[in-house]
A and B are shown apart, each in its own frame.
Chain A
Amino acid sequence: MSVLTNNLDLFLRAFAQTLQLFAISAVLSLVLGTFLAALRVSPVPVFRGIGTLYVTVLRNTPLTLVFVFFLFAYPLLEIVKIEPYTAAVVSLSLYTAAFVCEVVRSGINTVPVGQAEASRALGLTFVQMLGNVVLPQALRSVVPPMTSTMIALLKNTTVASGFAVFQAGTIRDSLSEQGENVLLGLLWVAIGFVVLVMPLTYVQQVFEKRWSVAR
């Protein structure tokens, strides 16, 4: 317990950084992922190809490699200098966007074609069809896997530990520097993540249950 109470300030600051990193990357990856999903369901084959290529490459590349690329390879190209923190946000967003894209795309694909055809037959405009028919149905199958993706993103912020970004994963470094018990410190970090993730998992299960009944 003393490891936590003696370093409460460190733990709070670190977890606040984790949440900040998570929040920024979550927003960026949702925007980019939705855009990519739009590409992947677009009627233009070239756009679909671009979307598919992006998703295939990023989904099969380890996140750690994306980090290494943006911290140690990208600067060699001398384009725009980025801080390690920015590099971490960029890596997390680009990587997570591929997963967001797949969730959104498969969500849209779960809506039966007949639904859209019927609404077109009724004379609904594209926006009306999207807003009143397709998206409300797609959302139900999107929210639970999207919550999983976001939980994964929250946990993935710890990958930044090896790349000079202060967050919950680097609490160990500070503790070992002060000669504190690293074993207990890491246990507290783990508990911290359990506390953060559990409510999200619960919310996800509630949504899943409620909407699977409604269908």
Chain B
Amino acid sequence: MSMVLFDVPGPKARARHKVMAVIGIAAVLAAVAYVIMRFIATDQFSTRRLDWINYKQIQISLVEAIGNTLSAFAVGAVLALVFGAIFAAARLSDHAWVRAPAAVVVEVFRAIPLVIMMFFFYYGLPVAGVKLSAFTAVVLSLMLYNGSVLAEIFRAGINSLPKGQSEAAYALGMRKTQVMTLVLLPQALRAMMPTIISQLVVLLKDTALGFLITFEELLRWGTRIGGDAVSFGRPMISVMIVVAAIYIGLCLLLTWLANYLEKRNRRNKKVVKLDGDRPNQVQLAESSAVLGSGSTL
């Protein structure tokens, strides 16, 4: 817990905290009870409104919808990472004529809302005779936006490394590409990992924007089943709870998976741990020492 603002509590403070805890729990319980009461009063969990979950065809279409969301995420993520790497490299280039246009592209695509990009690809381009499927429009937009953000993350990661690293590498006679791929990238990647992961979580969530251009993903599936008045009397509440749970589960799984891979990566290799203030003191650490300080997410 954060101890910045508060001193270690004494007996009086502890008693006060207990009272506050009781009030807090009571408030939360009251809120939850009210919501559940509304659920019951409006009959959200009647047999008819929960019946959708029993149908084989609906289960299949749910799996397909999740598949669409995940494939948009996978393709979008790979493209965004490639786009980000290329443009980060371009922005770090020694030549101004490469650097400047790359900077403009990255800054512009970071400033345009994803929704507008998707509209542009899906509704705008057909005016010029270019027809893209909803999937392509979603993936392209995800690539341009998240790719630009990732480019900035990569660049910041490389720039945050102590200058001595590249200087030493150059002094050893390495070429530009070697310095980048052998010295800077491996170190920077490790430092950037948490930021990259959270950007990928953002990308996964942003696939839901495909809803706005009729891409058949998880959220659209949810509104279709949830809005079905003919068979189930609009089970929107229960469907949305399920859809939200799936999204939250997928995002947490992604975060967990990335952390797991990172940890395993650390265990397998000898790790160079950097101390920002004293760059000359490079410390070789075996797995056991670093494992304890791993990310807690």
Contacts and interface: CB of A to CB of B under 8 A. Distances in A.
Quick check: do A and B touch in the complex, using CB within 8 A?
yes
Interface of A: 41, 43-48, 50, 56-57, 59-65, 68-69, 72-73, 76-79, 105, 108-109, 111-113, 115-117, 120, 126, 129-130, 134, 151, 155-159, 161-162, 168-169, 172, 176, 181-183, 185-187, 189-190, 193-194, 196-198, 201
A201 B107 contact: yes
A183 B240 contact: no
Contacts of A162: 211-212
A44 B21 contact: yes
Q: What is the interface of chain A mostly: helix, strand, loop, or mixed?
A: helix
B294 interface: no
Contact of A76 (B3, B234, B244): B234
Nearest to B233: A76
A13 B139 CA distance: 31
B237 interface: yes
Interface string B15-37: 00100110011001000000100
A108 B2 contact: yes
Contacts of A61: 205, 244, 247-248
Q: What is the interface of chain B mostly: helix, strand, loop, or mixed?
A: helix
Contacts of B13: 43
A79 B35 CA distance: 9
Given A44-B17, A44-B24, A64 B211 contact: yes
Nearest to A198: B111
A182 B5 contact: no
B252 A60 contact: yes
Interface stretch (B119-127, B173-181, B257-265, B278-286): B119-127
A184 to B, nearest CB: 8
25 contacts: A41-B4, A43-B1, A44-B20, A46-B24, A48-B1, A50-B24, A61-B247, A62-B207, A62-B209, A62-B219, A64-B212, A68-B219, A72-B227, A72-B236, A113-B3, A113-B4, A115-B4, A155-B111, A155-B113, A172-B119, A183-B125, A183-B127, A183-B128, A186-B123, A186-B124
Contact of B124 (A65, A130, A183): A183
Nearest to A176: B123
Interface in B97-134: 107-108, 110-117, 119-120, 123-125, 127-128
Contacts of A151: 111
Contacts of B208: 62-65
Nearest to A130: B5
